Structure 1
């Protein structure tokens, strides 16, 4: 049975639930996601090409990947655009693997649930576009990571490309949770995630759906382009 993707009887939640509808159950904890696979499926195959196209349009030549994992898709982009600079941000075994196996890029280790800023030179930030691809759903507390991304935008990064599962396309708006994927803490419906981003100080420039993988070609992943919106006391 296909999930109902048209509507929900429940209103969007508030900040205490990260804007997910009432009744949804998130995981309290989740195991570290080790980014390794031996299958031939490419997950979110269109996110990095979309980000590269936006970087070209906006005249940026630095890509900052927040939650890069083992950076396989970033490596594919680097092979195509070797004249650009790449910064991967993650922690633990995934980041160690990047340092040991990728000859390109700068690899920065931070805990994305507690870090307050990233040690990236201001000149690089001002030349950059940020990518955060299907990482936010792995975090028990996503707010520090969103604050890091918005901080980069406030420091001069041109835009951020975000992706995360679209719950309404996978299990329905009113699915009780937790997600079927055991490494996901929670999954947002598209309207919930937009509300979270707007409340976190982002200006949404584009929001739509993209392929989850290149095997099924199903459009069940959210894809967004955001900038830093104004908050109280700031001028646009």
Structure 2
């Protein structure tokens, strides 16, 4: 299916099946421990810098990184994800409020407002990301910060790619300029937009990227406030 309203270049093809749904979906909690670490570290730095306390994460997965990088700073954390992930979190961790929700299909009122509202590499998985962004904004107050990350398509796939994404769990991917325009169109003011490393590289991967002159910082992060 061709994109028409996400500020993505003309001709780009999304990953959707004949029913207009994502091609492949998570059926169990994602258990990786190497992806998006730099994003969580950035979020932790934001918490410390601004003295924030109440945090909610949309698409918290297994909860591992929320617990590891955010809970040492504040125990006032809430994670939202599919039932299978939330069940795992409730059975695994002694801290945190865990809420089951399909971000593409459901709306829910949360015990807000929150100081920091996060969605870390989630937006590319959603058929209708605007629904999640509206939910995130509903959790915010005037001085809240919203942190959203996603792969930088051109750096990951190449500048001449027109989709669909190689990752079948991804519906669509944005480059830096496109994502900036899309987020800005959603009633949010971007206060920081940067590139960070998408994963923790092994020594072999590091030297491969350097030798091949491939970019290491391929994950884009926006920090926003309500417009």
TM interval, short-chain normalised: 0.7 to 0.9
Alignment pair present for 1:19 and 2:7: yes
Distance 2:128 2:159 in 1: 21
For the 8 Å contact 1:24–1:177, the answer to whether it is kept is yes
TM-score, structure 1 as length reference: 0.81
What is the root-mean-square deviation of aligned Cα atoms in Å? 2.1
- Sort the Cα spacing of 1:49 and 1:161 in 2 relative to 1 into closer, same or farther, 3 A: same
What does 1:55-66 correspond to in 2, within 5 Å?
Answer: 55-66=47-58
> C-alpha displacement at 1:77, in angstroms?
2.3
For the 8 Å contact 1:58–1:158, the answer to whether it is kept is no
Q: Out of 118, 128, 132, which is 1:141 matched to?
A: 128
> C-alpha displacement at 1:117, in angstroms?
3.8
State the partner residue of 2:95: 104
State the partner residue of 1:226: 224
What per-residue deviation string (whole Å, max 9, x for no partner) do you get for residues 119-138 of structure 1? Answer: 22x4xx25x21111001111
State the partner residue of 1:168: 154
What per-residue deviation string (whole Å, max 9, x for no partner) do you get for residues 98-156 of structure 1? Answer: 11112110001122113334322x4xx25x21111001111111110011112222x35
TM-score, structure 2 as length reference: 0.84
For the 8 Å contact 1:21–1:174, the answer to whether it is kept is no
Alignment pair present for 1:80 and 2:79: no
Distance 1:101 1:221 in 2: 28
When the two structures are aligned, how many residues end up with a matched partner? 208
Distance 1:209 1:78 in 2: 20
What does 1:6-45 correspond to in 2, within 5 Å?
Answer: 16-28=4-16, 29-33=22-26, 34-37=28-31, 42-45=34-37
Distance 2:161 2:70 in 1: 38
State the partner residue of 1:232: none
Unaligned runs of 5+ in 2: 17-21, 207-215
